[in-house]
Amino acid sequence: MEKVIAGYKVDVTEEGYLTDRKQWNKEIAQALAKELGINELTEGHWQVIEFLQKDFEATEKIPTIRRVNKVGNIPTKDLYALFPDGPLMKATKIAGLSKPVSCV
């Protein structure tokens, strides 16, 4: 289905995850973050988003929280502080990636 986010027409799933990563940009990320209750994306948020995108490009898999911690060197408590109530679901959505399989 199509949705307009930050003035851009994008293809999304019923849950609002982008289906085409090429449609993602930083303005869309900011708008998605606001929808999820994160008013401003800080340097810490961008560190997580960039790791998720680079890791996905390398592995073609959504990284787990454990991988974000071990490979991305981002402490799990920081991940929860940056993206409360479902950090991986929120972070992947903002990063323009699909919903993690590990999340219900």
Q: Which residues are catalytic?
A: 103
Phi, psi of 50 (to 5 degrees): -65, -40
Non-local (6+) Cβ contacts of 8 within 8 A are 23, 25, 27, 28
* C-alpha span between 92 and 8 (Å, rounded): 19
